[in-house]
């Protein structure tokens, strides 16, 4: 998260800027006991007794624990009815998800809580491993203990634990961003890893989450309130590299989605190798003749050519441009094909923090639309996948016939009211 890794710019100035860096319902507070807070209905009403809080059952060394069903989850998803307009799903996600003392992790937890939103946090396993124990990490095709994003201080590891714990209790998803963030063209890059090497990387990422207590020796901190073997159902690879060889392993592990495609369009998703493929998307880039991927680093790469401390006089205009890119991407989907909108970011203060301000501005705009009555759902990738999995295949096939910015012919009532399967599209959803 602190060290930059990047792919070459694709189509800069002519097409979508596909530079990538993967560095790094309603919400209420949680208690401080190590137990999951209730999701409502815990106080006595009409003379009924308060519900007891669930008891945490430690897993392994107690780094994680069974605490019952995750609080603050939406009601079970239902399939679209004939003639029904699809909801507008929006997923805000964070790569790395480490707290490094800049207050960004709690800032966006507070924002989500204020607006009843869920997000996905792709946790880098190394952010729970003390640097003094770095030789426990054996990255594929790299020296033992190596990492292109470094290691956090002990204090920041503790802060990360605190915020990951809070995030889950407030209804957010904890995915993975793997570990050492090796990008580029070298032999050690994740783009060259085999399925077996991805399995090693995932096993290690999980072990750093499941065994942080053993690795740190800290006994005075509460457990993470989830079983990571069950919680972990998707991830995003460093720099959006290596998906093809990751997917066979992800499928073996029972993962439900992957967010690592190196750039997609604002259309309804399909499965790839049996896994839902949920990519970052090309969105309008105001004032430019090309589109940009829906991630903060891609805004930066086009505005300041990957420089993270450009001259400050540029910041106000770049902040407005970035915020409007997200807002225009949202509006294009909402007003036309209702394709889900995926946004990725990092807890970084690049170029004076303008990208954090921009994503907050866009988040608030989208949340206000929801609060004004629009059928907008600010969810995690896992929650969106839950919705996809209960839809009728023929309905999803038909939704996938809509291109970027394309409205359904005859309106939604007619479009989804017809149950016939479009020819030639069923294969897109094949496992």
Cβ(195)–Cβ(245) under 8 Å?
Answer: yes
**211 near 63, Cβ under 8 Å?**
yes
Nearest to 390 by CA among 23, 72, 86: 86
H helices present in 93-153, as ranges: 104-114
The domains of the chain, with CATH numbers, are 84-429 (3.20.20.370)
Could you tell me if residue 83 is left (phi over 0), alpha (psi between -120 and 50 degrees) or otherwise beta?
Answer: left
pLDDT tens digits, the chain, 431 residues: what are they? Answer: 433 433 333 333 333 343 433 333 322 233 333 333 333 333 333 445 565 566 899 999 999 999 999 999 999 999 999 999 999 999 999 999 999 999 999 999 999 999 999 999 999 999 999 999 999 999 999 999 999 999 999 999 999 999 999 999 999 999 999 999 999 999 999 999 999 999 999 999 999 999 999 999 999 999 999 999 999 999 999 999 999 999 999 999 999 999 999 889 999 999 999 999 999 999 999 999 999 999 999 999 999 998 999 999 999 999 999 999 999 999 999 999 999 999 999 999 999 999 999 999 999 999 999 999 999 999 999 999 999 999 999 999 999 999 999 999 999 999 999 654 444 433 344 33
Listed in order, strand segments (DSSP E) in 145-221 are 173-176
Q: What is the pLDDT of residue 55?
A: 82
Identify how many contiguous H helices and E strands the chain contains and give both numbers. 12, 12
Q: What is the pLDDT of residue 312?
A: 98
193: closest CA among 149, 141, 236, 262? 141
Which residues on neighbouring strands pair with residue 264, listed in sequence order? 281
Residue 226 neighbours by CB under 8 Å, 6+ apart: 64, 65, 67, 70, 168, 174
The contacts of residue 394 (CB under 8 Å, 6+ apart) are 419, 420, 421, 426
Give the pTM: 0.87
| pLDDT for position 52 | 58
């Amino acid at each position: 998260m602190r060290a930059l890794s990047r792919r070459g710019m694709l189509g800069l100035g002519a097409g979508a800027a596909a530079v990538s860096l993967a560095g790094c319902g309603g919400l209420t507070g949680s208690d401080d006991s190590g137990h999951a807070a209730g999701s409502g209905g815990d106080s006595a009403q009409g003379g009924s007794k308060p519900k007891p809080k669930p008891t945490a059952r430690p897993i392994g060394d107690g780094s994680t624990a069974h605490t019952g069903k995750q609080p603050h989850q939406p009601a079970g998803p239902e399939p679209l009815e004939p003639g029904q307009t699809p909801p507008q799903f929006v997923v805000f996600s964070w790569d790395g998800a480490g707290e490094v003392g800049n207050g960004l992790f709690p800032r966006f937890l507070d924002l989500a809580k204020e607006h009843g939103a869920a997000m996905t946090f792709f946790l880098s396993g190394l952010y729970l491993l003390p640097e003094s124990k770095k030789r426990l990490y054996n990255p594929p095709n790299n020296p033992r203990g190596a990492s292109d994003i470094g290691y956090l201080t002990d204090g920041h590891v503790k802060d990360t634990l605190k915020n990951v714990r809070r995030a889950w209790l407030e209804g957010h998803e904890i995915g993975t961003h793997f570990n050492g963030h090796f990008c580029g063209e070298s032999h050690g890059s994740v783009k060259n890893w085999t399925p077996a090497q991805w399995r090693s990387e995932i096993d290690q990422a999980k072990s750093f989450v499941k065994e942080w207590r053993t690795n740190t020796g800290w006994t005075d901190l509460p457990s993470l309130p989830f079983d990571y073997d069950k919680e972990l159902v998707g991830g995003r690879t460093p720099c959006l590299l290596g998906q093809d060889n990751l997917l066979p392993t992800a499928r073996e592990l029972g993962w439900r989605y992957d967010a690592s495609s190196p750039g997609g369009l604002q259309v309804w998703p399909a499965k790839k190798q049996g896994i839902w493929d949920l990519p970052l998307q090309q969105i309008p880039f105001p004032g430019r003749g090309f589109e940009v991927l829906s991630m903060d680093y891609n805004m930066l790469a086009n505005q300041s050519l990957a420089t993270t401390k450009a001259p400050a006089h540029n910041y106000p205009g770049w902040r407005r441009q970035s915020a409007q890119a997200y807002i225009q991407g949202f509006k294009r989907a909402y007003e036309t094909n209702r394709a889900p909108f995926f946004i990725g970011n990092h807890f970084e203060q690049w170029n004076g923090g303008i990208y954090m301000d921009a994503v907050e501005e866009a988040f608030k705009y989208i949340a206000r639309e929801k609060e004004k009555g629009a059928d907008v759902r600010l969810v995690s990738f896992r929650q969106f996948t839950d919705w996809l999995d209960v839809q009728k295949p023929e309905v999803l096939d038909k939704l996938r016939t809509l291109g970027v910015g394309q409205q359904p012919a005859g309106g939604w009532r007619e479009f989804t009211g017809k149950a016939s399967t479009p020819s030639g599209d069923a294969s897109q959803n094949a496992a």
